[in-house]
Amino acid sequence: AIAKESEILAMVAERVAVLDPVAVCFLGYHHVRGGYGLVKDPKKVIELCQKAADMGAKNAHYILGDAYRKKWEKSSTEVCSDRDLSFQHYEKAAMEGHIFARFTLGLLEYKEGHRDLALQHFLISAKMGHKQSMDNVKILLTGSIATEADCAEALQEYEAAVEDMTSTSREEAKQMGADNIRSFII
């Protein structure tokens, strides 16, 4: 049986009370959009996720990167400390193996005109099995930023990573709506 949102929030609150870093991160994340009946509160996101990051929650740095990026993108100033904080948190998450943080760094570097850095980020996340990164490596090949060798190596490792991640359980989860489950289990 699927627990009601209020029951889930009560369980999370119990874990937060004993300083479970994953629970603190979960609570912070759900203040982003106001999930589980929580109030949408960017300051609370940063407060809770920073606490979770300090306690070792791996996803917290990625969520903080997003939170600071949203603040920086809304700012009208060119240079902003929120930009630096965003990059720092994405970099920490990427160093911990967070594939979406690595991909996001690639997008941000590309947007800022640092094509070679963007390529490096996309190569790493493509080799971890991230399809959009692999697609971006191919695009950078057509723009003469990536080489044929870069693309071939990334494709080989991408395919191996996808093969390693293939399982009947994953396929069943996809059919059940894994995208809906993902926000539940951060």
| Residue, of 106 and 81, whose pLDDT is higher | 106
Measure the CA–CA gap between 17 and 77, rounded to whole angstroms: 39
| Residue, of 92 and 4, whose pLDDT is higher | 92
Q: What is the pLDDT of residue 180?
A: 55
- The token duo for 56 is 């070792």
Mean of the per-residue pLDDT values for the chain?
87
Measure the CA–CA gap between 98 and 53, rounded to whole angstroms: 13
Helix (H) or strand (E) holding 147: none
Q: Is 113 left (phi over 0), alpha (psi -120 to 50) or beta?
A: left
Measure the CA–CA gap between 143 and 2, rounded to whole angstroms: 49
Sorted by sequence, the CB contacts under 8 Å of residue 63 that are 6+ apart come out as 25, 28, 29, 32, 45, 49
Q: What is the pLDDT of residue 78?
A: 47
CB atoms within 10 A of CB 144: 8
The DSSP-derived string for 86-113 is: HHHHHHHHHHTT-HHHHHHHHHHHHHTT
Task: Lowest mean pLDDT of 23-27, 56-60, 164-168, 175-179, name the range.
Answer: 175-179
Burial class (CB in 10 A: 0-12, 13-18, 19+), 170: exposed
Is it the case that residue 153 has pLDDT exceeding 80?
A: yes
Share of the chain above pLDDT 90, in %: 61
Locus of tokens 């947007």: 111
Task: Determine the average pLDDT of the residues in 67-88.
Answer: 77
- The token duo for 183 is 């926000």
Q: Nearest to residue 106, comparing CAs of 82, 142, 130?
A: 130
For the chain, the domains span: 1-96, 99-186
Task: Determine the average pLDDT of the residues in 102-114.
Answer: 96
User: What is the fold of 1-96?
Assistant: 1.25.40
